[in-house]
Amino acid sequence: MDRMKKLIQEPNSSIQSTAVKEKPSGFLSINRVMSLDSLDVDLSKQLTAAPAQPKLEPQVEAPAKSASVTAIKWKLAPTRREQDKWDRATKAATGGSEVMFRELRRSREDPKVVAEQYRKQYFRLKKRLQFLTLGIGGVRLVSAYVSYSPEITASYGVGLLGSIVYMRMLGSSMDSMADGARGLLKGAIGQPRLLVPVVLVMIFNRWNGIVVPQYGFMHLELIPMLVGFFAYKVATFIRAIEEALPAVEKET
C-alpha cells in the first residue's frame, strides 16, 4: 500500500526515474512500454536523429566490386613458344604410357619364329594367287571355247599366258624386298612386269599385220586378249574376300 500510494502521489517522478535508471537493451521491456504510453516522455529528438549507418555495408560491397572486376579479366591466347612448351610437356607426360602399351602389345614369341611363320604365310599366299589365276583363267577359257569362236578363245588364251607371266614377275619382285631398298630396286629393274600389256598389244599388231596375211593363221582379237590378261585381278579380288572373313575361317 505504501508503494502504491507513492506511485499515485508522484506518477511523473517515478516514471522519469525508471526511465533514467533503465539501461538501453535490444529487447522489449515492460518499463519501455509504459514510457511509450506516457505522454510526458519526449521522443522527438530520437525520432528526428539520422539513422546510424551500418558498419557491415562497406565490408559487403568491397568483395562484390572486386569480384566484378576480376570476372571481366580476359584470358589471352598462348604464344607459339608457350604452345610448343605445352605440347612438349604433354608429349613427355604421355610418352611413358605409349611405351608401356607398346611393350604390352609386343609379342613374347621368338622373332625368328615369327619371321618364319610370316615367310611361310607369304609363300602360301603367292601360290594361292597363282593357282587361282590359272584356275579362273582355265574355266573362262573353256567357257569361251564353248560359247564363242576359236579366234576369241585363242585371243583369251594369249592374254591368260600374259597374266600368268605377270604374276610370276610380281612374285619375284616381292621376294627381292627381303634385301631392303637395294633388293627392291634390283627387282624393279630386273622384272619389267609393267611391259607385259605393252608386249601383248605388240603381239596383236604384229600377228595380225604380218603372220595372218602371209601364213593365213586365225585372226586375234584385242578385247578378249585384255580380258584374259586381267584374270589375275579376279584372283586377287577373291583372295581379298577370303581375308575379309577371318571369323568364318576360324569357325571352319
CA distance linking residue 201 with residue 207, whole number of Å: 10
pLDDT tens profile 3-59: 777 777 655 554 455 544 555 555 555 566 566 666 666 667 777 765 655 555 544
pLDDT at residue number 176: 75
Inter-residue long-range contacts of 156-159, CB under 8 Å, 24+ positions, other chains counted: 156/224, 156/225, 156/227, 156/228, 157/228, 158/200, 158/203, 158/220, 158/225, 158/228, 159/200, 159/224, 159/225, 159/226, 159/227, 159/228, 159/229, 159/230, 159/231
Q: For the chain, which ranges sit under pLDDT 70? A: 9-43, 49-75, 92-101, 103-108, 178-191, 247-252
Cell of 109: 614369341
Beta strands in the chain (DSSP E): none
**186-201 tens-digit pLDDT:** 666 656 778 898 999 9
Q: Residue 134: CB partners within 8 Å, gap ≥ 6?
A: 164
CA dist 245 and 72 (Å) reads 60
Cell digits for 232? Answer: 589375275
Supply the pLDDT for residue 137: 92
Residue 81, pLDDT score:
84
In angstroms, the CA 39 to CA 223 distance is: 129
Spatial contact of 187 and 212, defined as CB atoms under 8 Å apart: no
* Domain residue ranges in the chain: 111-251
The pLDDT of residue 60: 47
Q: What is the pLDDT of residue 19?
A: 47
Q: How far is CA 167 from CA 133, 159, 172, in A?
A: 9, 13, 9
Round to whole Å and give the CA distance between 66 and 55: 19
Nearest of 167, 172, 157, 162 to residue 239 by alpha carbon: 167
Residues 6+ apart with CB under 8 A from 49: none
